[in-house]
Structure 1
Amino acid sequence: MAQIAKKTKRYPSDLTDEELEQIAPLMPRPGRRGRPREVDFREVINAVRYLVRAGCGWRMLPIHFGPWQTAYGWFRELARRFLFQTIHDVALMLDRERSGREASPTAGVIDSQSVKAPQAETRGYDAGKKIVGRKRHIAVDTDERLLMVNLTTADISDSAGAQAILDGIRKRWPWVKHLFADSAYDRLKLIDKAAYLVFVVEIIRRSDD
């Protein structure tokens, strides 16, 4: 982080020149007609990274990023174009190749985590964890890189939340065929859906060893 901070203009969350060079080909091209585009996409991405890192709201963005309405508007547009999802997936595949793996994973692990969410508009009670809040249903590859995440209220069961994960993986990571899970996912509906989507779900049970 110290090395990154030295290369940035104002905040540690700002894009470095190297990072900008990597994502520049994925940014929207200006239209051939109409007014020239005035927005600096580097500043839009910097604003999003600052907001995520600082945990603040859009209205609290520093003035260096320009009007918050502009940053928010372009954030919604870029999200609609799946830009952030694309950046994530490309970065994941490049990282797998750097570690000597195939770019696209063929196996993954699914699990969930219930967390307190006092500010959330909708929450649920996880009786097993005794937590009122939200639940993250997560799939990672076998090296723990994030593949998919599905956010629900905490009262949604692991197997029910995982069904949305299966749909997402089949669309984004078509080479994944094998999934590992704990006994909470050993449910008939989930196993049936996995078989329909051509997944093999292997249940890893806890043992005394």
Structure 2
Amino acid sequence: MSSVTARRDLTDNQWERLRRWLPEPARLGRPITRSRRALVNGIAWRIRTGSPWRDLPPAYGPWATVYWLFCAWQRSGVWALIWRSLQALARAQQRLTWQVGIDSTTARAHLAAAGAGRRTLADEPLDHALGRSRGGWSTKLHLAVDTSGHPLAALVTAGQANDSPHMIPLLEAVTVARIGGGRARQHPDRVLADRAYSCRSNRDWLRRKQIKATIPEPADQTANRRRRGARGGRPPAFDADRYKDRSGIERTIARLKQHRAIATRYDKLAVRYLATVHVAIIVNWLRDFSNTA
């Protein structure tokens, strides 16, 4: 294997941490002769470079086998389970902070993302999370990230979707298990978000869940509240210094989009693109764990 190909592959330490959660890649027909490590490195290489699966370097094994494994573990939920396991490990090691930033980023859709059939997987959205926005066909990735840069939840929608309606589903997807059993942590202590998420329904939901909010109020909402006088109520509390902690999610999005298959969507199915995001998150977390071990 060339040094250019192998320079970003999983190290021995990262692989030993990951392999405990990986099932054996059982397959009907011809047996798989490549090691799981080579296959997983091949999946990570494709996501990092954005290359077509058929152009996968031979050192990682047959491209069809690598692609089959990526899809099989997406369908069985392996990638999502590994991500949840890393979250639980980070919680046990007290690496997580419960001040969570939420935001979204848009990925342009490549021509290769077009053409998905109507009859697809059961959990695939009807629009395949593709929509026409100002820059053309695109997908929007919504993320909830703690201030240390650890992603806790992700979902994908069509590129033209507004951010505000997806705040509640995104936060409801936050579920961090406890190693050894016990109740999973589902709600952060505080949410940091930009003014796109400021609306009465979102603030009321956060208040009911006893989650503090640091969300600036848009100028039109401020003007409307003042125009109503006493009926407009008090202005929402906002701490400008605490709001600076939202930079954690900006850094996380920038880091994820270093993976070219995330910055540009090549996958026809939304569930495949979301699995691509899961793999990139897993790789980044493994590097963080090895750097601080």
Letter in 1 for 2:68: G
Letter in 2 for 1:12: R
Deviations 1:145-201 (A, max 9, x none): 2222222222211112323312311477634333222222122343455566x3625
The two structures have a TM-score, normalised by structure 1, of 0.72
Letter in 2 for 1:109: G
Distance (whole Å) between structure 1 residues aligned to residue 19 and residue 38 of structure 2: 13
Unaligned runs of 5+ in 2: 115-129, 178-183, 218-237, 241-293
Aligned-partner SS, 1:174: coil
Mapped contact 1:159–1:185 kept (Cα < 8 A): yes
Aligned-partner SS, 1:88: helix
Give runs of aligned pairs for residues 56-135 of structure 1, distance below 5 A: 56-92=51-87, 94=89, 102-119=94-111, 120-121=113-114, 122-125=130-133, 130-132=134-136, 133-135=138-140
Provide the aligned length of Structure 1 versus Structure 2: 193
Aligned-partner SS, 1:164: helix
Mapped contact 1:134–1:153 kept (Cα < 8 A): yes
Distance (whole Å) between structure 1 residues aligned to residue 7 and residue 176 of structure 2: 34
Q: 1:23 to 1:82 in 2, by over 3 A?
A: same
Distance (whole Å) between structure 2 residues aligned to residue 85 and residue 104 of structure 1: 18
Report the structure, 1 or 2, having the larger strand content: 1
Mapped contact 1:138–1:148 kept (Cα < 8 A): yes
Q: 1:171 to 1:189 in 2, by over 3 A?
A: farther
Q: 1:150 to 1:74 in 2, by over 3 A?
A: same
- The alignment-based identity, stated in percent, is 26
The two structures have a TM-score, normalised by structure 2, of 0.54
Q: 1:50 to 1:115 in 2, by over 3 A?
A: closer
Distance (whole Å) between structure 2 residues aligned to residue 95 and residue 89 of structure 1: 10
Mapped contact 2:104–2:163 kept (Cα < 8 A): yes
Distance (whole Å) between structure 2 residues aligned to residue 60 and residue 165 of structure 1: 35
Q: 1:90 to 1:105 in 2, by over 3 A?
A: farther
Q: Are 2:182 and 1:177 aligned? A: no
68-77 or 176-185, larger mean C-alpha shift: 176-185
Distance (whole Å) between structure 1 residues aligned to residue 20 and residue 154 of structure 2: 26
Residue from 189, 192, 198 that aligns with 1:186:
198
Residue from 7, 11, 33 that aligns with 1:12:
7
Query: What is aligned with 1:137?
Result: 142
Letter in 2 for 1:52: I
Aligned-partner SS, 2:140: strand
Aligned-partner SS, 1:169: coil
Letter in 2 for 1:85: A
Instruction: Report the CA distance between 1:109 and its aligned residue.
Output: 1.0
Distance (whole Å) between structure 2 residues aligned to residue 153 and residue 29 of structure 1: 34
Mapped contact 2:107–2:139 kept (Cα < 8 A): yes
Aligned-partner SS, 1:28: coil
Mapped contact 1:93–1:104 kept (Cα < 8 A): no
Give runs of aligned pairs for residues 192-203 of structure 1, distance below 5 A: 192-194=204-206, 198=209, 200=211, 202-203=213-214
Aligned-partner SS, 1:26: coil
Distance (whole Å) between structure 1 residues aligned to residue 195 and residue 91 of structure 2: 28
Query: What is aligned with 1:44?
Result: 39
Instruction: Report the CA distance between 1:55 and its aligned residue.
Output: 0.9
Query: What is aligned with 2:157?
Result: 152
Higher relative contact order (CA 8 A, sep 6+): 2
Mapped contact 1:194–1:201 kept (Cα < 8 A): yes
Mapped contact 1:105–1:176 kept (Cα < 8 A): no
